[in-house]
A = this chain, B = another copy of it.
């Protein structure tokens, strides 16, 4: 498989696969979510399970064109819609779960519910973003800008594992994963740097499969071999990182919001650690971003 280097590549690849995923969408009431759903239907890589108030859903007449590929599942409230969508994942009827116009806390509560939710025992929930920037010739993956505040070693290990898996799904046979920190120095003052030593040992032992995992290094060093040279860093990443693991949510989120505002990044995001990828768009995400997130989730869920 050739690496997928853009969202256009991603949707072309999905179209070419001729295989449709079933996406359960909770409360598809807002225009951006609906536009994303319609594009996924048109591009033929998703069938939809629209969960919510049937009257509100049928306001959008465009869904009628795809009546053989769209199922409306009635729910009394947003909480009920979230619970029913999660049940569809649990029963294997849905391959992807996606959030529409429902409060994030309520959506997550349904996912995390101990009896009826889909959190797997011992698994770590983490958020991965794929970003496309006009001046960066390929997709850039990073974690975690949204879910885990201050990762433990166990959570970092899971983050790297998921990241390696996601990169491979995008056709990157040997993903280069940079462990980000403000410096390249190992120091007790920054416990994350000690965690990174252990993560590299795990990588060396083959825990993450065929992958180049290195750090600590800063964001610039991850993408510029010159910056590494000046600092005397000889890293197998070689300034060609495919993915960044951030030390904490503050750094991950600062990166995410900075590339979105200042670098015109388009983003696809999803949560991993559940039986199927969970799409959790921000309120301020546009229709493109919701569409790319859905596409990325369909790719990963396969």
A interface residues (Cβ-Cβ under 8 A, vs B): 133, 135-136, 145-146, 149, 180-183, 189-190, 192, 218-221, 223-224, 226-227, 230-231, 246-255, 257-263, 283-284
Asked if A224 contacts B261 (CB within 8 A), the reply is yes
In Å, the complex CA distance between A189 and B148 comes to 11
Asked if B182 contacts A262 (CB within 8 A), the reply is no
Asked if A250 contacts B181 (CB within 8 A), the reply is yes
Asked if A218 contacts B262 (CB within 8 A), the reply is no
Nearest Cβ in chain B — how far from A68, in angstroms?
Answer: 35
Chain B residue with minimal CB distance to A253? B182
* A262 touching B259 in the complex, CB below 8 Å, given contacts A190-B149, A231-B283, A250-B251: yes
In Å, the complex CA distance between A250 and B150 comes to 12
Chain B residue with minimal CB distance to A248? B250
Chain B residues with CB below 8 A from A135, complex form: 262
Chain B residues with CB below 8 A from A253, complex form: 182-183, 218-219, 251
Chain B residues with CB below 8 A from A262, complex form: 133, 135-136, 259, 262-263
Asked if B219 contacts A257 (CB within 8 A), the reply is yes
Chain B residues with CB below 8 A from A180, complex form: 250, 254
Sample (11) of A-B pairs whose CB atoms are under 8 Å apart: A136-B262, A182-B252, A183-B253, A219-B257, A220-B257, A223-B261, A227-B284, A230-B284, A250-B250, A255-B258, A258-B259
In Å, the complex CA distance between A145 and B284 comes to 27
In Å, the complex CA distance between A219 and B257 comes to 6
Nearest Cβ in chain B — how far from A171, in angstroms?
Answer: 23
Chain B residue with minimal CB distance to A219? B257
In Å, the complex CA distance between A35 and B261 comes to 33
In Å, the complex CA distance between A190 and B192 comes to 18
Asked if B149 contacts A250 (CB within 8 A), the reply is no
Chain B residue with minimal CB distance to A263? B262
Chain B residues with CB below 8 A from A190, complex form: 149
Chain B residue with minimal CB distance to A221? B257
In Å, the complex CA distance between A91 and B100 comes to 65
Nearest Cβ in chain B — how far from A10, in angstroms?
Answer: 21
In Å, the complex CA distance between A133 and B261 comes to 12
Chain B residue with minimal CB distance to A146? B182
In Å, the complex CA distance between A266 and B288 comes to 31
Asked if B258 contacts A182 (CB within 8 A), the reply is no
Asked if B249 contacts A182 (CB within 8 A), the reply is yes
Asked if B255 contacts A254 (CB within 8 A), the reply is yes
Asked if B250 contacts A246 (CB within 8 A), the reply is yes
Asked if B257 contacts A218 (CB within 8 A), the reply is yes
Nearest Cβ in chain B — how far from A260, in angstroms?
Answer: 6
In Å, the complex CA distance between A220 and B260 comes to 7
Chain B residue with minimal CB distance to A229? B284
Nearest Cβ in chain B — how far from A75, in angstroms?
Answer: 25
* A254 touching B246 in the complex, CB below 8 Å, given contacts A149-B190, A182-B145, A230-B284: yes
